[in-house]
Amino acid sequence: MKEEGSILIVDDDLDILTAGKLLLKRRFSEVTICNQPAQIPELLAKQSFDVILLDMNFGPGESSGKQGFYWLKKILALKPDSIIIMITAHGGVDVAVEAMKLGATDFIAKPWQNEKVIATLSTAIKLGKTRSEAQTLKQTNQLLVQANNQAAQQLMIGNSPAFQQIRSLIERSAPTDANVLILGENGTGKELVARELHQKSLRNEKVFMSVDLGAISETLFESELFGHKKGAFTGAHQDRIGRLKAADGGTLFLDEIGNLPLHLQAKLLTVLEQRQVIPVGENKAQPFNVRVICATNLSKEQLLDDTLFRQDLLFRLNTVEIHLPPLRERIEDITPIAKHFIKLYQKKYHKPELALSDAALTALNQDSWPGNIRALRHAIERAVVLAQTSELQVADFQLSTSGASVIANPVQPSTDSSQIPADELNLEKIEKQTISLALKKHRYNISHTAKELGLTRAALYRRMEKHGL
């Protein structure tokens, strides 16, 4: 069976070229020969070679290796990542070693041994693939870091005293490696704060890895966070790096930490205390270096209930605690946030410049926003899409008329179909009403709402988007 690999042999001896091609084409998928080194630039421009076999001397009587050095440098100038194996006669080992100092990967002495040539080329091809994968991974990580940095700069908006206090906590804690616990209702911007902490930290050139623990099943928790070895369980067809190792050197953001069952909290605590992880199916521990930032919509009282959350894990996570107040408690920030979203969506949907009418601005400031910034964003997007004039009116928004009472009295609402008026038996309306009631019942906790409705979190988000909730 042939091995995938493209080989180029450059030698002025036609016998060497013929013998080399006959030997290698039985083992490798493609073999190209060249007896004139001046053709090398043209060949490199046309295709990529996994390995180049390059003679040290061209022409009768040549033995100094100068020509080989010249073309070695030329190839590396044209293709810096080239894997080059030098061909040298016996007695020219010192010259070949000098070539390796200049960037050659290995050398083969003439007359060669067939098995040694094949083994050397197989190793070289694997080395080239490893280098390519490492370069791709490096570039991917750079793009990921850039994307994370751009995301971190998007939406930290507000001038209220509460927001200024949050900003102060971020500025003081970000440059440290202290673990941070972010508390707040759904939609208050916990991930934005986590990204801001990362961006202002000494790890900002490394990866920001976000993990939604509410979306990971218990059976996959260890595999997702710790990784697994091939064959560790049914479906583990290949090795997989865990999120803790993938974020090595950077920041790991564990969202919805409050949804983690107690027995998994214990496993997470052990890993964070030991600062090393053992992939599923592996025996050897792997050290990691990450800064941990967590977030939850559980209240501080719920976190202090040891039947819901391990107190030793809480102690480990909340070195610094940042509480994000709901939007209804930072009314001064509603206007600048709303104006920011208007500019964002008028650009996205190619709308002319839009303004808020005084009545709409008043209505936005008076709404209780049980879904917080996320709900405000959805309302603004809908208004921009449906606006018929250059000034947004109250009618362009879907605003709650009883949000404040819902927050004040979060009693489980009934969804009994008998309470739905007979003239409103419209599936779209019923679906919207059901989702709205479930959201209010669970104080906009997406995971709990989705579970009660029998939906995935992604499916619930799609329906909320559909109905403008």
Q: What is the DSSP string of 20-38?
A: HHHHHTTTEEEEEEES-GG
Tell me the three-class secondary structure of 182-227, residue by residue.
Answer: EEECCCCCHHHHHHHHHHCCCCCCCCEEEEEHHHCCHHHHHHHHHE
pLDDT of 54-83, one tens digit each?
988 887 767 778 888 899 999 999 888 889
Nearest to 160 by CA among 372, 329, 373: 329
Task: DSSP letter for 281, please.
Answer: T
Indicate the pLDDT class of residue 456, thresholds 50, 70 and 90.
Answer: confident
What does the alpha-carbon distance between residue 102 and residue 86 come to, in Å, rounded to a whole number?
11
Q: What is the CATH number of domain 3-131?
A: 3.40.50.2300
pLDDT of 182 reads 97
In 3-state terms the chain splits into helix, strand, coil percentages (rounded to 5) of: 50, 15, 35
Provide the 3-class DSSP secondary structure of residue 53: strand
Q: Are 358 and 393 in contact (CB under 8 A)?
A: no
What does the alpha-carbon distance between residue 282 and residue 271 come to, in Å, rounded to a whole number?
15
Indicate the pLDDT class of residue 425, thresholds 50, 70 and 90.
Answer: low
Q: How far is CA 233 from CA 129, 147, 226, 282, in A?
A: 28, 34, 14, 12
Mean pLDDT of the chain: 84
Q: Are 300 and 183 in contact (CB under 8 A)?
A: yes
Q: Residue range 193-215: average pLDDT? A: 91
Q: Residue range 461-469: average pLDDT? A: 78
Q: What is the DSSP string of 302-337?
A: HHT-TTTS-HHHHHHH-SEEEEE--GGG-GGGHHHH
pLDDT of 113 reads 83
Architecture of domain 328-467 in this structure:
Orthogonal Bundle (1.10)
What does the alpha-carbon distance between residue 106 and residue 123 come to, in Å, rounded to a whole number?
10
At residue 27, what are phi and psi to the nearest 5 degrees? -115, -35
Q: How far is CA 370 from CA 5, 32, 313, 428, 442, in A?
A: 60, 68, 29, 22, 11
Indicate the pLDDT class of residue 413, thresholds 50, 70 and 90.
Answer: very low
Select the more confidently predicted residue: 174 or 143: 174
What does the alpha-carbon distance between residue 117 and residue 438 come to, in Å, rounded to a whole number?
69
Q: Are 86 and 108 in contact (CB under 8 A)?
A: yes
Surface-to-core class of residue 95, CB atoms within 10 Å of its CB (0-12 exposed, 13-18 middle, 19+ buried): buried
List residues bridging with 253 in a β-sheet: 210, 293
pLDDT of 205 reads 87
Provide the 3-class DSSP secondary structure of residue 67: helix
Nearest to 439 by CA among 379, 369, 334: 369
Which part of the chain is CATH 1.10.8.60? 328-467
pLDDT of 102-127, one tens digit each?
888 888 888 888 888 888 888 888 88
Indicate the pLDDT class of residue 193, thresholds 50, 70 and 90.
Answer: very high
pLDDT of 358 reads 92
pLDDT of 123-170, one tens digit each?
888 888 777 666 656 655 655 655 555 544 456 788 899 999 999 999
Which part of the chain is CATH 3.40.50.300? 153-325
Q: Is the pLDDT assigned to residue 92 strictly greater than 70?
A: no
Superfamily of domain 153-325: P-loop containing nucleotide triphosphate hydrolases (3.40.50.300)
pLDDT of 29 reads 86
What does the alpha-carbon distance between residue 335 and residue 271 come to, in Å, rounded to a whole number?
43
Which part of the chain is CATH 3.40.50.2300? 3-131
Select the more confidently predicted residue: 417 or 308: 308
Q: How far is CA 266 from CA 253, 260, 273, in A?
A: 18, 10, 11
Nearest 10 degrees: Cα torsion 189, 202, 291, 175? -70
pLDDT of 106 reads 86
Which tokens sit at 87? 């061909």
pTM: 0.60
Q: What are the E-state strand segments in 317-403?
A: 320-324, 355-356, 391-392
> Which residues 6+ apart lie within 8 Å of 246 measured at CB?
207, 209
Q: Is the pLDDT assigned to residue 421 strictly greater than 70?
A: no
Task: DSSP letter for 416, please.
Answer: -
Q: Which helix (H) or strand (E) segment is 119 a member of? A: helix 114-152
pLDDT of 430-441, one tens digit each?
888 888 888 888
Indicate the pLDDT class of residue 41, thresholds 50, 70 and 90.
Answer: very high
Please, what sign has the CA dihedral across residues 195, 184, 211, 270? positive
List residues bridging with 110 in a β-sheet: 89
pLDDT of 165 reads 93
